[in-house]
Protein backbone atom coordinates (compact mmCIF):
# COMPACT_ATOMS: atom_id res chain seq x y z
CA UNK A 1 0.00 0.00 0.00
CA UNK A 2 1.13 3.60 -0.56
CA UNK A 3 2.35 5.93 2.13
CA UNK A 4 -0.98 7.81 2.29
CA UNK A 5 -2.78 4.49 2.71
CA UNK A 6 -0.52 3.75 5.68
CA UNK A 7 -2.22 6.56 7.59
CA UNK A 8 0.16 9.50 7.20
CA UNK A 9 0.75 12.12 4.51
CA UNK A 10 3.48 12.09 1.91
CA UNK A 11 6.91 13.54 2.55
CA UNK A 12 8.06 13.73 -1.03
CA UNK A 13 11.01 14.49 -3.28
CA UNK A 14 9.85 15.41 -6.80
CA UNK A 15 12.47 15.86 -9.53
CA UNK A 16 11.83 17.77 -12.73
CA UNK A 17 9.46 20.00 -10.76
CA UNK A 18 10.03 23.03 -12.96
CA UNK A 19 8.75 21.23 -16.08
CA UNK A 20 5.19 20.77 -17.31
CA UNK A 21 4.34 17.37 -15.86
CA UNK A 22 6.44 17.98 -12.75
CA UNK A 23 4.75 21.27 -11.91
CA UNK A 24 1.32 19.74 -12.51
CA UNK A 25 2.16 16.82 -10.22
CA UNK A 26 3.43 19.22 -7.55
CA UNK A 27 0.17 21.18 -7.59
CA UNK A 28 -1.98 18.07 -7.26
CA UNK A 29 0.31 16.27 -4.82
CA UNK A 30 0.87 19.16 -2.39
CA UNK A 31 -2.50 18.91 -0.56
CA UNK A 32 -1.59 15.36 0.50
CA UNK A 33 1.92 16.26 1.64
CA UNK A 34 3.50 17.15 4.96
CA UNK A 35 6.67 18.08 3.06
CA UNK A 36 7.44 18.60 -0.62
CA UNK A 37 11.03 18.94 -1.85
CA UNK A 38 11.02 20.31 -5.39
CA UNK A 39 14.09 19.63 -7.54
CA UNK A 40 14.87 21.26 -10.87
CA UNK A 41 17.31 23.38 -12.85
CA UNK A 42 15.17 26.52 -13.24
CA UNK A 43 15.38 28.41 -9.95
CA UNK A 44 12.85 31.07 -10.91
CA UNK A 45 10.28 28.44 -11.87
CA UNK A 46 10.92 26.49 -8.65
CA UNK A 47 10.60 29.61 -6.51
CA UNK A 48 7.39 30.60 -8.28
CA UNK A 49 5.94 27.14 -7.71
CA UNK A 50 7.00 27.20 -4.06
CA UNK A 51 5.27 30.54 -3.59
CA UNK A 52 2.14 29.18 -5.25
CA UNK A 53 1.84 26.06 -3.10
CA UNK A 54 0.32 26.98 0.27
CA UNK A 55 -1.02 23.62 1.45
CA UNK A 56 2.28 22.16 2.72
CA UNK A 57 5.88 23.16 3.55
CA UNK A 58 7.90 23.36 0.32
CA UNK A 59 11.69 23.25 0.01
CA UNK A 60 13.59 23.67 -3.27
CA UNK A 61 16.86 22.18 -4.48
CA UNK A 62 18.13 23.79 -7.68
CA UNK A 63 20.73 21.82 -9.62
CA UNK A 64 21.58 19.35 -12.35
CA UNK A 65 20.80 15.75 -11.41
CA UNK A 66 23.84 14.57 -13.35
CA UNK A 67 26.01 16.46 -10.82
CA UNK A 68 26.78 14.40 -7.66
CA UNK A 69 26.62 17.61 -5.62
CA UNK A 70 22.92 17.95 -6.48
CA UNK A 71 22.23 14.40 -5.32
CA UNK A 72 24.02 15.12 -2.05
CA UNK A 73 22.04 18.34 -1.60
CA UNK A 74 18.78 16.43 -2.04
CA UNK A 75 19.82 13.83 0.54
CA UNK A 76 20.90 16.54 2.98
CA UNK A 77 17.56 18.32 2.59
CA UNK A 78 15.60 15.09 3.03
CA UNK A 79 17.45 14.20 6.23
CA UNK A 80 17.50 17.69 7.74
CA UNK A 81 13.77 18.19 7.14
CA UNK A 82 12.78 15.00 8.95
CA UNK A 83 12.88 12.29 6.30
CA UNK A 84 10.83 11.30 3.25
CA UNK A 85 8.51 8.48 2.27
CA UNK A 86 8.12 9.21 -1.45
CA UNK A 87 10.60 9.75 -4.27
CA UNK A 88 9.22 10.67 -7.69
CA UNK A 89 11.90 10.45 -10.39
CA UNK A 90 10.23 12.65 -12.97
CA UNK A 91 13.08 14.71 -14.47
CA UNK A 92 13.84 13.99 -18.08
CA UNK A 93 15.01 15.38 -21.41
CA UNK A 94 14.19 14.43 -24.99
CA UNK A 95 15.62 14.94 -28.45
CA UNK A 96 13.78 14.07 -31.66
CA UNK A 97 16.51 13.28 -34.16
CA UNK A 98 17.73 10.64 -36.57
CA UNK A 99 20.11 8.49 -34.56
CA UNK A 100 22.80 8.33 -37.27
CA UNK A 101 23.27 12.10 -37.15
CA UNK A 102 22.45 12.72 -33.48
CA UNK A 103 25.27 14.32 -31.49
CA UNK A 104 27.15 11.87 -29.24
CA UNK A 105 26.98 14.49 -26.49
CA UNK A 106 23.18 14.61 -26.80
CA UNK A 107 22.98 10.82 -26.66
CA UNK A 108 25.12 10.81 -23.52
CA UNK A 109 22.94 13.50 -21.94
CA UNK A 110 19.75 11.57 -22.71
CA UNK A 111 21.11 8.45 -21.01
CA UNK A 112 22.65 10.34 -18.08
CA UNK A 113 19.53 12.37 -17.30
CA UNK A 114 16.78 9.87 -18.05
CA UNK A 115 18.41 6.70 -16.70
CA UNK A 116 21.61 7.12 -14.72
CA UNK A 117 20.47 10.13 -12.67
CA UNK A 118 17.29 8.50 -11.31
CA UNK A 119 19.23 5.32 -10.55
CA UNK A 120 21.90 7.19 -8.60
CA UNK A 121 19.41 9.41 -6.78
CA UNK A 122 17.35 6.38 -5.77
CA UNK A 123 20.50 4.68 -4.49
CA UNK A 124 21.41 7.78 -2.48
CA UNK A 125 17.95 8.05 -0.91
CA UNK A 126 17.20 4.37 -0.19
CA UNK A 127 18.55 4.61 3.40
CA UNK A 128 16.32 7.64 4.04
CA UNK A 129 13.29 5.90 2.55
CA UNK A 130 14.03 2.74 4.55
CA UNK A 131 13.69 4.76 7.75
CA UNK A 132 10.00 5.43 7.00
CA UNK A 133 7.30 2.94 8.06
CA UNK A 134 6.25 2.69 4.39
CA UNK A 135 7.67 4.39 1.32
CA UNK A 136 7.51 4.50 -2.45
CA UNK A 137 9.87 5.19 -5.33
CA UNK A 138 7.95 6.02 -8.50
CA UNK A 139 9.90 6.27 -11.74
CA UNK A 140 8.19 8.28 -14.47
CA UNK A 141 8.85 6.42 -17.68
CA UNK A 142 7.23 6.67 -21.10
CA UNK A 143 5.24 4.52 -23.47
CA UNK A 144 8.39 4.85 -25.62
CA UNK A 145 10.17 2.75 -23.01
CA UNK A 146 8.02 -0.15 -24.19
CA UNK A 147 7.56 0.69 -27.87
CA UNK A 148 10.67 1.70 -29.79
CA UNK A 149 9.90 4.60 -32.12
CA UNK A 150 11.91 6.19 -34.96
CA UNK A 151 13.57 9.48 -34.10
CA UNK A 152 13.77 8.59 -30.41
CA UNK A 153 16.29 5.72 -30.31
CA UNK A 154 18.40 7.06 -27.43
CA UNK A 155 15.35 8.32 -25.50
CA UNK A 156 13.61 4.96 -25.93
CA UNK A 157 16.76 3.15 -24.76
CA UNK A 158 16.91 5.27 -21.60
CA UNK A 159 13.23 4.84 -20.78
CA UNK A 160 13.36 1.09 -21.46
CA UNK A 161 16.32 0.92 -19.09
CA UNK A 162 14.36 2.84 -16.47
CA UNK A 163 11.53 0.32 -16.64
CA UNK A 164 14.01 -2.56 -16.30
CA UNK A 165 15.67 -0.83 -13.34
CA UNK A 166 12.26 -0.33 -11.70
CA UNK A 167 11.31 -3.96 -12.03
CA UNK A 168 14.65 -5.28 -10.80
CA UNK A 169 14.79 -2.95 -7.79
CA UNK A 170 11.14 -3.67 -6.97
CA UNK A 171 12.03 -7.35 -6.69
CA UNK A 172 15.22 -6.62 -4.77
CA UNK A 173 13.30 -4.60 -2.18
CA UNK A 174 10.22 -6.85 -2.12
CA UNK A 175 10.83 -7.85 1.52
CA UNK A 176 11.23 -4.22 2.65
CA UNK A 177 8.79 -1.37 3.31
CA UNK A 178 9.86 0.42 0.10
CA UNK A 179 7.71 -0.08 -3.00
CA UNK A 180 9.28 0.64 -6.41
CA UNK A 181 6.82 1.48 -9.16
CA UNK A 182 6.66 2.61 -12.79
CA UNK A 183 4.29 5.16 -14.31
CA UNK A 184 4.39 5.68 -18.09
CA UNK A 185 2.64 8.65 -19.73
CA UNK A 186 1.84 8.69 -23.42
CA UNK A 187 2.39 11.76 -25.63
CA UNK A 188 1.95 14.90 -23.52
CA UNK A 189 1.80 18.56 -24.54
CA UNK A 190 4.82 19.96 -22.71
CA UNK A 191 7.93 21.97 -23.53
CA UNK A 192 10.02 18.77 -23.56
CA UNK A 193 8.62 18.19 -27.07
CA UNK A 194 9.84 20.34 -29.93
CA UNK A 195 7.56 21.99 -32.47
CA UNK A 196 8.59 19.23 -34.87
CA UNK A 197 7.30 16.56 -32.48
CA UNK A 198 4.02 18.43 -32.08
CA UNK A 199 3.63 18.69 -35.86
CA UNK A 200 4.43 14.99 -36.29
CA UNK A 201 1.92 14.01 -33.61
CA UNK A 202 -0.77 16.03 -35.34
CA UNK A 203 0.09 14.48 -38.70
CA UNK A 204 -0.03 10.98 -37.21
CA UNK A 205 -3.19 11.82 -35.22
CA UNK A 206 -1.40 10.78 -32.04
CA UNK A 207 -3.48 11.27 -28.89
CA UNK A 208 -1.92 13.77 -26.48
CA UNK A 209 -2.64 14.49 -22.82
CA UNK A 210 -2.25 17.74 -20.92
CA UNK A 211 0.14 17.83 -17.95
CA UNK A 212 -2.87 18.19 -15.68
CA UNK A 213 -4.42 14.99 -17.05
CA UNK A 214 -1.15 13.14 -16.50
CA UNK A 215 -0.86 14.49 -12.95
CA UNK A 216 -4.42 13.43 -12.10
CA UNK A 217 -3.73 9.92 -13.41
CA UNK A 218 -0.47 9.85 -11.45
CA UNK A 219 -2.28 10.69 -8.18
CA UNK A 220 -4.77 7.88 -8.81
CA UNK A 221 -1.90 5.48 -9.50
CA UNK A 222 -0.02 6.58 -6.39
CA UNK A 223 -2.82 5.50 -4.07
CA UNK A 224 -3.74 2.34 -5.98
CA UNK A 225 -2.27 -1.14 -6.12
CA UNK A 226 -0.14 -2.41 -8.97
CA UNK A 227 3.49 -1.75 -9.71
CA UNK A 228 3.08 -0.13 -13.11
CA UNK A 229 0.65 1.91 -15.19
CA UNK A 230 0.72 2.97 -18.84
CA UNK A 231 -1.64 5.74 -19.88
CA UNK A 232 -4.03 5.29 -22.81
CA UNK A 233 -6.08 2.22 -23.70
CA UNK A 234 -4.82 2.24 -27.30
CA UNK A 235 -1.24 2.61 -26.08
CA UNK A 236 -1.62 -0.28 -23.61
CA UNK A 237 -2.95 -2.48 -26.41
CA UNK A 238 -0.06 -1.51 -28.67
CA UNK A 239 2.42 -2.29 -25.86
CA UNK A 240 0.90 -5.75 -25.46
CA UNK A 241 0.96 -6.29 -29.22
CA UNK A 242 4.60 -5.19 -29.29
CA UNK A 243 5.41 -7.84 -26.68
CA UNK A 244 3.45 -10.70 -28.24
CA UNK A 245 3.49 -10.00 -31.98
CA UNK A 246 6.21 -7.38 -32.62
CA UNK A 247 6.02 -7.82 -36.40
CA UNK A 248 2.64 -6.10 -36.41
CA UNK A 249 3.89 -2.86 -34.77
CA UNK A 250 6.96 -3.11 -37.02
CA UNK A 251 4.71 -2.93 -40.06
CA UNK A 252 2.48 -0.19 -38.68
CA UNK A 253 5.40 2.04 -37.74
CA UNK A 254 7.19 1.36 -41.03
CA UNK A 255 4.11 2.67 -42.82
CA UNK A 256 4.44 5.89 -40.78
CA UNK A 257 8.10 6.41 -41.68
CA UNK A 258 7.48 8.91 -44.52
CA UNK A 259 5.57 11.19 -42.13
CA UNK A 260 8.13 10.73 -39.34
CA UNK A 261 11.07 11.47 -41.66
CA UNK A 262 9.29 14.55 -43.01
CA UNK A 263 9.34 16.05 -39.51
CA UNK A 264 12.83 14.96 -38.42
CA UNK A 265 15.23 17.89 -38.00
CA UNK A 266 17.56 18.26 -40.97
Q: How far apart are CA 38 and CA 63, in angstroms?
A: 11
Q: How far apart are CA 3 and CA 94, in angstroms?
A: 31
Say whether domain 10-263 belongs to CATH 3.10.180.10.
no
Sign of the Cα torsion 114, 119, 120, 126 reads positive
**Catalytic residue selected from 10, 144, 152, 155:** 155
Outline where the chain has alpha helix (H): 20-29, 43-52, 68-80, 104-111, 117-130, 153-172, 195-204, 211-222, 233-244, 247-263
pLDDT at 189: 87
Which H helix or E strand runs over 58? strand 58-62
pLDDT at 7: 42
pLDDT at 33: 96
155 as an active site residue: the answer is: yes
- Alpha-carbon 261 to chain mean position: 27
pLDDT at 8: 63
pLDDT at 5: 47
Helix axes 233-244, 247-263, angle to 10 degrees: 120
Strand ranges across the sheet with 58-62 = 58-62, 33-40, 10-14, 86-89, 135-140, 178-184, 228-230
* Bridge partners for 181 per DSSP: 138
Task: State the 10-residue block means of pLDDT for the chain, 266 residues long.
Answer: 57 95 96 97 96 95 97 98 97 96 97 98 98 97 96 98 98 97 93 88 92 96 93 94 95 96 92
Amino acid sequence: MGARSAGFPYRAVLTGASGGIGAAIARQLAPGCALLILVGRNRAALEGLRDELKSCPVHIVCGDLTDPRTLSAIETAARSLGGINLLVNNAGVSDFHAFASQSPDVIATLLATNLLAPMLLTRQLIPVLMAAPAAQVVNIGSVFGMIGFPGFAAYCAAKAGLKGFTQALRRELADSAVEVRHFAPRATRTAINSDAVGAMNRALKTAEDTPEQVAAAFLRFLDANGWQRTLGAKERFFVLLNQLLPALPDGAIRAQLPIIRKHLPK
